[in-house]
Structure 1
Amino acid sequence: MHINAAFDSGNINVIKAEHPDDIRLAINKDNQSDFYQWFHFKLFAEAGEEHVMTIKNAGQSAYPDGWKDYQALASYDRDTWFRVPTEYNGKELTIRHTPEQESVFYAYFIPYSYERHQDLVQTAQQSVDCYHELLGETLDGRELNLLIVGEPAEHKNTIWVTARQHPGESMAEWFMEGFITRLLDDEDGVSRKLLDNNVFYLVPNMNPDGSVRGHLRTNAVGTNLNREWAEPSLEKSPEVFYVLKRMQQTGVDMFLDVHGDEALPYNFVAGCEGIPSYDERHQDLEDTFKAALLTATPEFQTQYGYEFDEPGKANMTVANTAVAEQFKCLSYTLEMPFKDNADLPDEDFGWSVARCQRLGEDVLTAMLAVSPKLR
């Protein structure tokens, strides 16, 4: 029996692994940060024997409520991921699984590898409608990639979509894969119509360093990027610095920042109702987008989500509020679950790759509905 996490996005610390019924583990903190919750490791084991793996420090993680009703993910081929029995007692998370093969991977959510990220970018640039731009380098020396889809023109709206500011929220990049694939489909009527009147600026992974390091929430030096939008710096948050600088060059008519929520088992959006300049136009744009997305897919809902900010009380260091205020545009944070969509549960797979991708596709339909109102 052996446990290994020395690979892209791997994260686990082995405390004890002498007997299959008493494996004790801990999740490592993000570098220079107290955040932790993401885990991803490989178990070499005796097939057909139950293994009981207890994460001892789960109760002190960033979002302990995220463990309630949570089921860990497992995969033999790193392609198909399924849920396995998982229990949380308020202090420890226990995963019970009887492997059917000699080795199996476990993860907090389905990983989106840096190699796949590079494939996504390189494949997208093959389209005649897509231009690949290098925004800059991260603190670990990785590329910060921007995809520009559509031909810029004075009459066209500028739509920005960013994902994975928090690297452990890998569902955000699966969403982007579905979004980009449909947008670049020249036989899709929604995409063709959108590109007549809109240009898209897409950052599929805002935090490649944190993604590779196996972080939950921060970049290479422990910075939470989604609290840096008031005053980003090249020393702490170059990822935000470069994106915001480019936004100031292009302008922004709509902004969507894609995330995952540890605790809430729903897909929902959070708006900018607390910014100083929020007005009836903002509300009309938000209502139009939400109504269209509700029509496009039953995976989306508006009953559950974050509490609304009081007028003038928004946190202006967060991406969607900072961008909404600076550019006076429609601006949303979109959240997906780590667990499942409680409105449409799937006990085998929970919230999955295919559902992330499909939601990304469906968001384009909602964008088509709101597009004529953006200016």
Structure 2
Amino acid sequence: VVDFLVSQHPVARVLRDHVVFKIVPMLNPDGVYLGNYRCSLMGFDLNRHWQEPSPWAHPTLHAVKQLIVRMNQEPKVGLEFYIDVHAHSTMMNGFMYGNVFEDEERVQRQAVFPRLLCQNAPDFSLSSTSFNRDVVKAGTGRRFLGGLLDDMSYCYTLEVSFYSYLAAGSAGPVPYTEDSYMKLGRNVARTFLDFYKLNHLIDGTKAVGHMSSGSDGLSGSRQGNGYGNGRSQEEEKPDRKVHSVRDT
């Protein structure tokens, strides 16, 4: 995601002009240094402590939460997306967890981004994507922020298999490689172009030709944006930028 967003790809340039991305690469580098993939140095699963993070025991989580709270309070800046990226040790493919709400219209809007991502990424599974309010997940980022942010926000956990994916037409599971993980990251970034209906800003001939060459790894055919995000571009304030936060 990061490599693509800072590249000179036409899609990346349009996204940088219209969307503000706040990226936290990793919340538990101390634990990863010791070989943990889930816990911090002190043994905390940070994605269960969003409700009351301690500045002493969970300093990285505490800092990110404060950043999000500050951004959410800025009158001219809307925090619309939070995407928490994790690896999954048992399931295949990439998929998402999202929140459920009493408002049916809000429920339908929450499904838009995963549907668009499924069109762009052949290894993303819409059937494995689920929306829930399980008690055991109450301390996760997408659950906590789903209650903190306003009803026009979108909070997800993006899970990606440790080992393989099933694509349409494949005879069996296809092992993930560094390159295929990179492709999924690029397709996640590209999906924001569809979500915000910015496709018309791309020079179609040059952009599609570059994509189809395979050199940028953007797999899957472009389906256009058949889904609305609940807001027209005319409704946006001229000086308003959109934040998208990712952390692992």
What is the TM-score with the length of structure 1 in the denominator?
0.47
- The yes-or-no answer on 1:264 pairing with 2:91 is yes
How many angstroms apart in 2 are the aligned matches of 1:258 and 1:221? 21
CA contact (8 A) 1:293 1:362 kept: yes
SS of the residue corresponding to residue 202 of structure 1 reads: strand
Residues 176-325 of structure 1 mapped to structure 2, 5 A cutoff:
179-186=1-8, 188-251=9-72, 252-273=79-100, 279-305=103-129, 308-309=131-132, 315-325=137-147
- Larger RCO, structures 1/2 (Cα 8 Å, 6+ apart): 2
- The yes-or-no answer on 1:368 pairing with 2:189 is no
The AA in structure 1 aligned to 2:146 is: A
**Displacement, 1:319?**
0.7
How many angstroms apart in 2 are the aligned matches of 1:212 and 1:201? 24
1:98 corresponds in structure 2 to: none
How many angstroms apart in 2 are the aligned matches of 1:286 and 1:296? 17
Match of 1:355 among 169, 175, 180: 180
CA contact (8 A) 2:86 2:157 kept: yes
2:165 corresponds in structure 1 to: 341
The AA in structure 1 aligned to 2:2 is: I
How many angstroms apart in 2 are the aligned matches of 1:374 and 1:192? 24
How many angstroms apart in 2 are the aligned matches of 1:374 and 1:327? 16
How many angstroms apart in 2 are the aligned matches of 1:314 and 1:370? 30
How many angstroms apart in 2 are the aligned matches of 1:195 and 1:247? 20
Q: 1:236 to 1:278 in 2, by over 3 A?
A: farther
CA-atom RMSD, angstroms?
A: 2.5
How many angstroms apart in 1 are the aligned matches of 2:19 and 2:139? 27
What is the number of equivalent residue pairs in this alignment?
Answer: 191
How many angstroms apart in 1 are the aligned matches of 2:173 and 2:108? 39
Structure number with the higher strand fraction is 1
**Displacement, 1:332?**
0.7
| Percent identity of equivalent pairs | 25
Q: 1:193 to 1:280 in 2, by over 3 A?
A: farther
How many angstroms apart in 1 are the aligned matches of 2:31 and 2:88? 17
CA deviation string 1:174-231 (max 9, x = no partner): xxxxx11111123x22222222221110011111101101113210111110001000
What is the TM-score with the length of structure 2 in the denominator?
0.69
1:327 corresponds in structure 2 to: 149
1:58 corresponds in structure 2 to: none
**Displacement, 1:239?**
1.2
**Displacement, 1:318?**
0.5
The AA in structure 2 aligned to 1:335 is: E
CA contact (8 A) 1:272 1:324 kept: yes
Q: 1:278 to 1:223 in 2, by over 3 A?
A: farther
**Displacement, 1:316?**
2.5
How many angstroms apart in 1 are the aligned matches of 2:145 and 2:136? 12
Residues 19-34 of structure 1 mapped to structure 2, 5 A cutoff:
none
SS of the residue corresponding to residue 253 of structure 1 reads: strand
The AA in structure 2 aligned to 1:235 is: W
The AA in structure 1 aligned to 2:63 is: Y
CA contact (8 A) 2:92 2:161 kept: yes
How many angstroms apart in 2 are the aligned matches of 1:281 and 1:218? 36
Q: 1:197 to 1:281 in 2, by over 3 A?
A: farther
CA contact (8 A) 1:290 1:366 kept: no
Unaligned residue ranges in structure 2 (runs of 5+): 73-78, 198-228, 232-248
Structure 1's consecutive aligned runs of 4 or more residues displaced over 4 angstroms after TM superposition are 344-349
How many angstroms apart in 1 are the aligned matches of 2:18 and 2:90? 37
**Displacement, 1:280?**
3.5
Unaligned residue ranges in structure 1 (runs of 5+): 1-178
Residues 6-155 of structure 1 mapped to structure 2, 5 A cutoff:
none
